[in-house]
Every structure is written in structure tokens, then in C-alpha cells.
Amino acid sequence: MTNSGEFVRGFTNYIILSILAKFDSYGYEMSKIIEYVSEQNIQLTEATLYTALKRLLLEGKIKSYTGKNKKGMNRRYYQITSNGKEELQSFRKDWVTIENTLSSLVGGNFEYKREN
């Protein structure tokens, strides 16, 4: 899939929040999760990922702390806040409508009665 980052740009925050709703994580690990789940079809650039993380931090949707990964290396971990959980929950309520609408529009599976 070419330019996969462009396809998910509007959803990057929600992808990050969804990962952090499952467990605390660090940037590199999140990028690997996205690649794994998408079967290598979605790859966010480091700049896109860290810009989104910075924005979410400034908005109070996530917070960060320093911790050690399984190999004992220091990492900056991110954790979802209650504000972030509320944002994600609100988005998930709208997601079904968004998904169905995009599927109909992009797939050409819609009816429209034109006015003459």
C-alpha cells in the first residue's frame, strides 16, 4: 500500500490511544504494533508518530514516564489519561458510522437521487 501514512493521518491519534488503552508503550514498540496488526500495510514515519505523541501530551490525553523495557534499556513510555480514554470512547461511538460511510463512498456502493 503506497503512502499508507496518508490514509491513516486523521486516525493516528486514535490508533495511538487505542494501543495505550491496552497497555503503556513506547514509540518504537507502537510503530511495530501498527506494522504487525496491519500486516506491514501501514507504516507511520517516526516524525508522524512522535508529532502525534507530542500533540497528545500537550492536550493531556496521554502522559509519559521513563521505564525499562524487557532488555533493561531505558525508554520513554506513554500512558493514556482519563481525558484520553474519554476521547477514545467518544470516537469509538462514531467509528461505525465513519467506517460505513467511507466504505459506501469509496466502494461506490451508494444510492443518490439526482435532482434535475
Query: What pLDDT digit, counting tens, does each position of 23-60 carry?
Result: 999 999 999 999 999 898 888 889 999 999 999 999 99
In a domain, 100, yes or no: no
In a domain, 104, yes or no: no
Q: Total structural domains in the chain?
A: 1
| Dist CA 90 CA 107 (whole Å) | 26
Q: In terms of residue numbers, what domain contains 44? A: 9-90
Quickly tell me which residue has 480514554 as its cell: 85
CATH number of domain containing 85? 1.10.10.10
In a domain, 15, yes or no: yes
In a domain, 99, yes or no: no
In a domain, 49, yes or no: yes
CB 79 within 8 A of CB 24: yes
In a domain, 108, yes or no: no
Q: How confident is the model at residue 69 (pLDDT cuts 50, 70, 90)?
A: confident
- Give pLDDT, residue 109: 87
In a domain, 64, yes or no: yes
In a domain, 106, yes or no: no
| Dist CA 40 CA 47 (whole Å) | 18
Higher pLDDT residue, 86 or 110? 86
How distant is the alpha carbon of residue 108 from its chain centre? 26
Helix (H) or strand (E) holding 19: helix 12-22
99: helix, strand or coil: helix
The arithmetic mean of pLDDT across residues 9-18, rounded, is: 93
